[in-house]
Amino acid sequence: MFKFEKINLSFSFNGIYFFLGLILLAAYTIYMYRYTLPPVSSSKKTILVLLRAFALIILLFIIFEPVATIAKKIILKPVNLIFIDDSRSIGIKDGTQRSENVKRFVDGLRINDLLNNS
């Protein structure tokens, strides 16, 4: 969809420690809300567990200093430029026939369909 060639997420620490921390945080959160004072309904308890787990996971994510690397490949079409001198020095009559040579060159480009803008 976005034509990314490479997407990479790396941490400053080993990723195994991150997932181990996720499991420990989830277990800790569930353990903390096992018994609550005052007693709350199971739906409220589930919401509280999810909120605390989400906050702790974000904190753990920040501690592990994530670095996202995104590489996108862009293919550019090559462009060839041809510059033709049209100054006064081309019109000088010194026997080299510069202006005729330039005209033949441009006509050759047109015949070979290399010159699109004329």
pLDDT tens-place values along the chain, 118 residues long: 677 888 898 888 888 998 999 999 989 988 988 888 888 899 999 999 899 999 999 999 899 989 999 998 888 888 878 888 778 777 777 878 788 888 888 888 777 766 565 4
- The single residue listed with the structure tokens 């096992």 is 34
DSSP class of residue 77 equals P
| Residue 13: per-residue pLDDT | 85
| Residue 90: per-residue pLDDT | 75
Asked if residue 59 and residue 24 are part of one domain, the reply reads: yes
Host domain of residue 53: 4-72
Asked if residue 10 and residue 68 are part of one domain, the reply reads: yes
| Residue 1: per-residue pLDDT | 61
Asked if residue 84 and residue 60 are part of one domain, the reply reads: no
Interacting residues of 70 by C-beta distance below 8 A, sequence separation 6+: 4, 6, 7, 8
Please give the tally of structural domains in the chain. 2
Asked if residue 64 and residue 12 are part of one domain, the reply reads: yes
Give φ, ψ of 85 to 5 degrees.
Answer: -75, 125
Asked if residue 82 and residue 68 are part of one domain, the reply reads: no
The H or E element spanning position 8 is: strand 4-10
Asked if residue 58 and residue 36 are part of one domain, the reply reads: yes
| Residue 58: per-residue pLDDT | 93
